[in-house]
Amino acid sequence: HYIHPFTDHGQLAGRGARVITRGEGIYIWDSEGNRILDAMSGLWCVNAGYGRKELADAAYQQLMTLPYYNSFFQTTNVPAAQLAAKLADLAPEVGGRHFDHVFFSSSGSESNDTNVRLVRRYWDLLGQPQRKTIISRHNAYHGSTMAGASLGGMSGMHAQGDLPIPGIVHIEQPYYLENAKPGESEAAFGVRAARWLEEKILEIGPDKVAAFIAEPVQGAGGVIIPPATYWPEIQRIVDQYGILLISDEVICAFGRLGHWFAYEKFGYRPDLVTFAKGVTSGYVPLGGVMVGDRVAKVLIEQGGEFNHGYTYSGHPVACAVALANIRLIRREGLVDKVREDTGPYLAAQFETLKAHPLVGDAESRGLMAAIQLVKDQARGTPFAPELEVGMVCRGHCFGNGLIMRAVGDRMIIAPPLVTTRAQIDEMMGLIRRCLDLTWTDVRARGWV
Ligand code: PXG
């Protein structure tokens, strides 16, 4: 009866689905009673870990007090107003820019649809209606609605349903292993990759470009970490041409990279910040856009009515859970812990993976990490994609009680922020075992 997301239904009907029935801490259990270490935090969202009673209590209390009311027609509700103020307080000021306002939705996709509406409205109000084009990147993920999938750069998604919609174009991603020239340094590549944005702006005409959208670190694309030179050069370019910068932090905000918001880590100055997932640790759906003062001022002072909003914008239960989640993350010092303790510890562990013969590269930032599987470690030669070595490895992970995702031959993790050093050790043991099993398979099949 159930049409699953991103699933081949014919295949699923034949194989059946694994049923997940319970979660506690960083572990989930399936209906067969198997315990699985969830190194993906569900889908990058269960930042506070499973089974947090105070999040359930916050939802219950709010459900009993006021389960729903909208924020249309000059009304509001207490949790939505409180959460907006709390988020404004958490979002750091950079270069004199403040985030005093927030627009709520129920997901990352909806939030990016809101971004498209917001940036086009902004330029209309400033008397530049020709500024419509939004530039994004290949292999970006910005959601699955018409605008979200169009902003994203997933060719498989564009191929279904005549996407992207008009006015959205893509440049190449800052993926060193795939897009650098032979012998090019990471630093030089970072600047060159950022200048693809400038080339695209000049090709379209600077007066026609509305915004650039990007993830601080690409998540669904395979945890692709840009060189340190990338973001400063992007900032120079958006400043020079006056275009809006949208930081899509649906994965990276709320502690994933050791900061409440990731733009702080990389030191750039976005005008709009998309968030979802970790804001409630995934316990209930909530998303939104932090609106910086550049856009907020125009929208509020010149905008009149903004003809946009969702039934569940500022949903009181979702906002109450988000407030409880932020309190919990603060009380347990999880953001600092990731930045100063478990993040660096994971990075040191990942460094040791580079000795494994199957590993071409292993890298992490905060609690977000990737392992590149290669055929020839010395030369960095990839496997033929049709061998699907990543899927072989993922199969071993499932079989050994570990959720680690495969994006092509990149194995990726993003464990809950509550993960301890001892649990990182346990996870590394499982990762090594699965790499060994995969290595045995690829040798037995004559693939190396
Ligand atoms: N932006 C980013 C950066 C995301 O990672 C979205 C927007 C869309 O959010 P919603 O809440 O509408 O799903 C996302 C979501 C995967 C995977 O396989 C990643 C996401 C969603 C589903 C699967 O890695 N990211």
Tens of pLDDT, residue by residue over 56-109, are: 999 999 999 999 999 999 999 999 999 999 999 999 998 888 999 999 999 999
What's the pLDDT at 96? 85
What is residue 225's predicted lDDT score, i.e. its pLDDT?
Answer: 98
Question: What confidence tens digit (pLDDT) does each residue in 369-391 have?
Answer: 999 999 999 998 999 999 999 99
Q: Cα(108) to centroid of ligand 1, in Å?
A: 7
Residue 390 is predicted with a pLDDT of 98
**DSSP strand pairing (244-248 vs 209-214):** parallel
Pocket test for ligand 1, best of 141, 215, 252, 312 (most atoms within 8 A of CB): 141
Strand residues in 88-178 grouped as ranges (E): 101-105, 133-137, 168-171
pLDDT in tens, 425-442: 999 999 999 999 999 999
Q: How far apart (Å, rounded) are the C-alpha atoms in residues 257 and 254?
A: 8
Distance 370 CA to ligand 1 centre (A): 17
Nearest CA, atom 9, ligand 1: 108
Ligand 1 mean position to 251 CA, how many Å? Answer: 7
- Tell me, what's the pLDDT at 420? 98
pLDDT at position 330 is: 98
Q: Counting atoms of ligand 1 from 1, which one is nearest the CA of 274?
A: 1
pLDDT digits (tens, 9 = 90+) for 247-267: 999 999 999 999 999 999 999
Atom of ligand 1 nearest to the CA of 215: 3
Q: CA–CA distance from 260 to each of 118, 263, 286, 335 (Å)?
A: 23, 9, 16, 7
Tell me the CA–centroid distance for residue 63 and ligand 1, in Å. 27
Ligand 1 atom nearest residue 145's Cα = 12
Residue nearest (by alpha carbon) to ligand 1 atom 17: 220
Q: State residue 242's pLDDT score.
A: 97
Q: Work out which ligand 1 atom sits closest to the CA atom of 285.
A: 11
| Residue 108 alpha carbon, nearest atom of ligand 1 | 9
Please tell me the distance between residue 250's alpha carbon and the centre of ligand 1 in angstroms.
Answer: 7
Residue with tokens 């969702």: 310
Cα-Cα-Cα-Cα dihedral sign, residues 16, 276, 305, 72 = positive
Distance 181 CA to ligand 1 centre (A): 30
Please name the residue whose Cα sits nearest to atom 19 of ligand 1.
Answer: 220
**Burial environment of residue 208 by CB neighbours within 10 A (0 to 12, 13 to 18, 19 or more):** middle
Residue 145: closest CA among 111, 170, 173, 121: 111
% pLDDT > 90, the chain = 98
At 306 the three-state DSSP class reads coil
CA of residue 337 to ligand 1 center, whole Å: 25
pLDDT of residue 97: 85
Using the predicted structure, report yes or no on whether residue 365 has a pLDDT greater than 90: yes
β-strand 209-214 against 133-137: which pairing, if any? parallel
pLDDT at position 59, please?
A: 98
What is the number of the ligand 1 atom nearest to the C-alpha of 412? 24
What pLDDT was estimated at residue 95?
Answer: 86
pTM of the model: 0.98
Torsion on CA atoms 336, 337, 342, 343, rounded to nearest 10: -10
- What would the pLDDT profile of 145-204 be if each residue is shown by its tens digit? 999 999 999 999 999 989 999 999 999 999 999 999 999 999 999 999 999 999 999 999
Please identify, by atom number, the ligand 1 atom nearest to the C-alpha of residue 40: 24
Q: For Cα atoms 148, 71, 251, give the angle at the middle one, nearest 5 degrees.
A: 35
CA of 220 to the centre of ligand 1 (A): 7
Residue-level pLDDT at 446? 96
Query: Which ligand 1 atom is nearest residue 110's CA?
Result: 12
Give the HSE-up count for residue 112: Cα atoms under 13 Å, Cβ half-sphere: 29
Atom of ligand 1 nearest to the CA of 140: 3
Query: Is the pLDDT assigned to residue 33 strictly greater than 90?
Result: yes
Pocket test for ligand 1, best of 7, 44, 224 (most atoms within 8 A of CB): 44
How do strand 168-171 and strand 133-137 relate by DSSP bridges? Answer: parallel
Distance 87 CA to ligand 1 centre (A): 21
pLDDT at 424 exceeding the cut of 90: yes
Return the residue whose CA atom lies nearest to atom 22 of ligand 1: 43
Pocket-testing residue among 6, 41, 250, ligand 1, by greatest number of atoms within 8 A of Cβ:
250
Q: Say if CB 447 and CB 389 are below 8 A apart.
A: yes
Q: Which residues line ligand 1 (CB under 6 A)?
A: 43, 107-109, 112, 141-143, 148, 215, 219-220, 248, 250-251, 276, 287
306-355 pLDDT, tens digit per residue, is 999 999 999 999 999 999 999 999 999 999 999 999 999 999 999 999 99
